């Protein structure tokens, strides 16, 4: 690493029934529940245009992850070969940004109900983007 | 915003023939060229397992973006209604993290050739993740 760096400010927080990493499913639809994205008032204007049915990408800050891990056994299975974290979705990585593709169920003021959202209660949200259909998905 | 914040360190840099924002296409395959992801030596081990043909999500830091913009006219067209940046892919947003879905063409040491990559030369890279197939795409 060089000394250059950038500062992320949370734009909101995940409110979820998931309260521990142990209860969190590994990825996506393997049981991930609904969650509320609670967006902070100073940036709430940035939600304008998001409605039920939208497909979004939510970026979070995985605040409990380790940043000094460069290789892991995928999904914690010792029998899988050691793999670089950039080739995995391990939360442990130099910049522990979480990427969650979700559907919007409801928008109420600055609260957005989404699913599936595999992030524990209190996870900071750093960005929200729309999924871009064919251009994005190819 | 509250005072909580997180620090991102670049893990590499985009090397591209695109040298200006004006030349950069708006999104995806509307002419975006190949680029090299030049990963820094201290984190190069984290690439282990990435090979030609892989589909990746590259997160960048859009270092020329404005962070005080909450609403935009999508794609800069004045006739489109003012929309919250979280409902658009505008580079201007509170945390200007860029999201690029790319295919790997070649891996040579700690350099990864990808396309399409709509980021200008010198754009800092902050994370790389695999696309997760059906779990991710639903």
Answer yes or no: do A48 and B84 touch at CB < 8 A: yes
Is residue B133 scored above 80 in pLDDT? Answer: no
DSSP-derived secondary structure for B19-31: --TTTS-SSTTTT
- How would you write the pLDDT of chain A (138 residues) with one tens digit per residue? 457 999 999 999 999 999 887 766 555 455 668 999 999 999 999 999 999 999 999 999 999 999 999 999 987 788 889 999 999 999 999 999 999 999 999 999 999 999 999 899 999 999 999 998 644 433
| Amino acid A112: pLDDT | 98
| Amino acid B102: pLDDT | 96
What totals of helices (H) and strands (E) does chain A contain, helices first? 1, 9
| Amino acid A132: pLDDT | 81
Nearest Cα to Cα of residue B38 among B96, B100, B109, B137: B109
Answer yes or no: do A84 and B47 touch at CB < 8 A: yes
Tens of pLDDT, residues B78-128: 888 999 999 999 999 999 999 999 999 999 999 999 999 989 999 999 999
| Amino acid B138: pLDDT | 32
Nearest Cα of chain A lies from the Cα of B50 at a distance, in angstroms, of 6
| Amino acid A136: pLDDT | 41
Residue spans of alpha helices (H) in chain B: 133-137
B19 compared with A11, residue with greater pLDDT: A11
Q: What are phi and psi of B46, to 5 degrees?
A: -70, -5
DSSP-derived secondary structure for B112-135: EEEES----TTPEEEEEEE--HHH
| Amino acid A135: pLDDT | 42
| Amino acid A76: pLDDT | 79
Select the residue from B95, B104, B109 to test the A interface by mutation, using most A Cβ atoms within 10 A. B95
Answer yes or no: do B40 and A83 touch at CB < 8 A: no
Chain B residue nearest residue A42, CA to CA:
B1
A135 vs B10, B29, B132: nearest CB: B29
Is residue B2 scored above 60 in pLDDT? Answer: no
Nearest Cα of chain A lies from the Cα of B105 at a distance, in angstroms, of 15
Answer yes or no: do B83 and A49 touch at CB < 8 A: yes
Residues of B in contact with A82 (CB under 8 A): 48
A86 HSE (CA, 13 A, CB side): 29
Chain A residue nearest residue B84, CA to CA:
A46
Tens of pLDDT, residues B4-14: 999 999 999 99
CA A39 to chain centre: 14
Residues of B in contact with A89 (CB under 8 A): 129-130, 132
Its pTM stands at 0.90
Tens of pLDDT, residues B23-36: 665 554 556 689 99
Nearest Cα of chain A lies from the Cα of B36 at a distance, in angstroms, of 16
């Amino acid at each position: 690493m060089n000394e250059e760096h950038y500062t992320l400010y949370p734009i909101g927080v995940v409110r979820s029934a998931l309260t521990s990493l142990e209860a969190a499913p590994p990825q996506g639809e393997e049981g991930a529940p609904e969650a509320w994205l609670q967006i902070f008032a100073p940036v709430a204007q940035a939600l304008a245009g998001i409605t039920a049915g939208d497909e979004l990408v939510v970026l979070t800050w995985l605040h409990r992850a380790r940043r000094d891990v460069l290789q892991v056994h995928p999904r914690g299975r010792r029998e899988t070969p050691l793999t670089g974290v950039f080739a995995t979705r391990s939360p442990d990585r130099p910049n522990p940004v979480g990427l969650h593709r979700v559907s919007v169920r409801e928008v109420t003021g600055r609260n957005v109900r989404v699913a599936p959202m595999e992030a524990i209660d209190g996870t900071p949200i750093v960005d929200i983007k729309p999924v871009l259909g064919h251009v994005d998905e190819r």
